[in-house]
Structure 1
Amino acid sequence: MKLQKKKNYTAAPLPFMGQKRRFLKDFKNALTAFPPDAIYIDLFGGSGLLSHTTKQFYPDAKVIYNDFDGFSERLANIDKTNLLIADIRLILNDSPSDKKISDSIKQKVIARVELEEQNGYVDYITLSSSILFSMKYVLSLEQLKKETLYNTVRQSNYTAEGYLEGLEVVSLDYKKLFNQYKNKPNVVFLVDPPYLSTETGTYKSYWKLNDYLDVLQVLDGTSFFYFTSNKSSIIELCEWIETKTPMSNPFTGANRMETKNPVNFQTSYTDIMLFKDSNSSITSL
């Protein structure tokens, strides 16, 4: 009997702000310097793409996906989401693609979403990608009613078969999860917090500067991958702290990789990945 090959996702199955799909090649290259049998803990699991990729790359590793943003609930309701979008696709059948939806059609869309909400569940983030302008999201029916709607409806169903297979899914404050594993051997922390000075509207909680600085304590003496961007200036801040105070810089000796992400034709920003194996003699790039 021929075994069916597991699907290797190169992007999250559902829309998610901040997923690391453009970093996967570099991330997998960097993983080769880390143990295949380690415990990998995705402290800010987000869409789970880093967890999924790690498990695919190292099948024997224990991978813990901290789903603090409720992404697994969205995956569990993917059939409901597909049905809702299929009905909206019919409503928008005569509306031009990528154009503003008329007020009369908008009311029909709103009525269908309202009915779905009465039935118990609406994934507003995924829905947003089918009826709002690019990169715009709402989180409630009231917010949706205030928006101008566009026909950007997806033409095929979403699928997430096997996406979370083999992962240990938890939903904890990252500090509690870190404390459970900080003194255990052969642990690698995947640290991808919401970026400082960027839009965090679809995340559950509001992050202040001290929240970002608290996260840096996770990197002290541990093996880690840490993700940030050139918008945050967190690396420069740590360099300043190292030169102006007795405190150390958690990124000293870490490897660094970058990838440029276009926002539109005129602007872009740079994603940054730093990684360090505390048990290895990796030299920084």
Structure 2
Amino acid sequence: MHKLFKSAPLPFQGQKRNFVNEFSKALEQFPANATYVDLFGGSGLLSRVTKDIHPEARVIFNDYDNFSQRLAAIPQTNILLVKLRKLTATSGRQIKIPVDIKRCILKAVKAHENKFGYVDYVTLSSSLLFSGKYATNFEELSKQTMYNTVRKSDIAEATGYLDGLEVVREDYKQVHQEFKDANVVYLLDPPYLSTDTASYGSDKYWKLKDYLDVLELLEGSKYFYFTSNKSSIIELMEWFETTTLVDNPFKWSTTTTRENTVNYQHKYDDIMIFKQ
């Protein structure tokens, strides 16, 4: 049996590790033989937890951000991290990396990319950039101020993380149409409203229209829906319900809130809403 994952094996902006316990308990109220469709798969953590709680369920992981590629590259990422530890050995932890060392780091990153054909820049960002900052390519990384937060140990290989999951990689609307059935539970963790989605493999911002398009999928469905207090989407739906004839998709649902810390300057509340 594979290990039980309480967090994603690699850094991922917005992964729901703080909600694993609440999510697991809520899942027990849902059918064990349902099809669970993770429309915004992200790090795959929701899919993994779902399969662990309901082993007989069919779980669809929409790996739109190609997280599986990052998982496959863990051995190569560890090789690069060894080099970064050596290059930053003389730099104090959590402090700005001097320009001369930064040049050496960039040279090592480019050489690694040339050799292996791939660099996991999101994981690299967590070791070189200020908390909450991400680069997705060499050009972006070279422009950023670097800090010595290089992880001290190798990343454990994610053995079994994708076991039992059906991995697809398509637009969420297409996945929704393919797996539209009465015995489906949707897992919806879209990028938060007006959030920079660069680290999600997209160069677009998640606008209000995109948010409202997702809410259309909730009507008449069983679901788990994640948002934050930054979006004010719950208040918006309540306003629509009381001032128009539009039904509130969150009516009769259950809500759980957890505080999430990005860095010492930035905190917000994560929200999980589910409906059977």
Instruction: Check whether the contact 2:131–2:263 (CA below 8 A) recurs between aligned residues.
Output: no
Q: Distance in 2 between matches of 1:83 and 1:263?
A: 27
Deviation at 1:185, TM superposition (A): 2.9
1:140 to 2:147 alignment: no
Deviations 1:221-265 (A, max 9, x none): 010000001110111111111112221111111111111123445
Counterpart AA for 1:191: L
Alignment of 1:69-218 (within 5 A): 69-119=65-115, 120-158=117-155, 159-182=157-180, 184-205=181-202, 206=204, 207-218=206-217
Question: What's 1:232 paired with?
Answer: 231
Structure 1 stretches of 5 or more lacking a match? Answer: 278-285
Q: Normalising by structure 2, report the TM-score.
A: 0.95
Relative to 1, partners in 2 of residues 1:264 and 1:75: Cα closer, same or farther, differing over 3 Å? closer
Question: What's 1:45 paired with?
Answer: 41
Question: What's 2:51 paired with?
Answer: 55
Question: What's 1:281 paired with?
Answer: none
Q: Distance in 2 between matches of 1:145 and 1:263?
A: 22
Q: Distance in 2 between matches of 1:50 and 1:243?
A: 33
Alignment size in residue pairs: 272
Q: Distance in 2 between matches of 1:266 and 1:212?
A: 26
Q: Distance in 2 between matches of 1:146 and 1:65?
A: 34
Q: Distance in 2 between matches of 1:229 and 1:101?
A: 33
Deviation at 1:164, TM superposition (A): 0.7
Moved more, 80-89 or 11-20: 80-89
- What is the percent sequence identity of the aligned residues? 54
Q: Distance in 2 between matches of 1:227 and 1:27?
A: 11
User: Any runs of at least 4 consecutive aligned residues in structure 1 with deviations exceeding 4 A, and if so which?
Assistant: 264-267
Provide the secondary structure at the position in 1 that maps to 2:258.
strand
Deviation at 1:106, TM superposition (A): 1.1
Provide the secondary structure at the position in 1 that maps to 2:270.
strand
Q: Normalising by structure 1, report the TM-score.
A: 0.92
Q: Distance in 2 between matches of 1:9 and 1:160?
A: 9
RMSD: 1.3
Deviation at 1:266, TM superposition (A): 5.8
Deviation at 1:202, TM superposition (A): 1.3
Structure 2 stretches of 5 or more lacking a match? Answer: none
Deviation at 1:203, TM superposition (A): 2.1
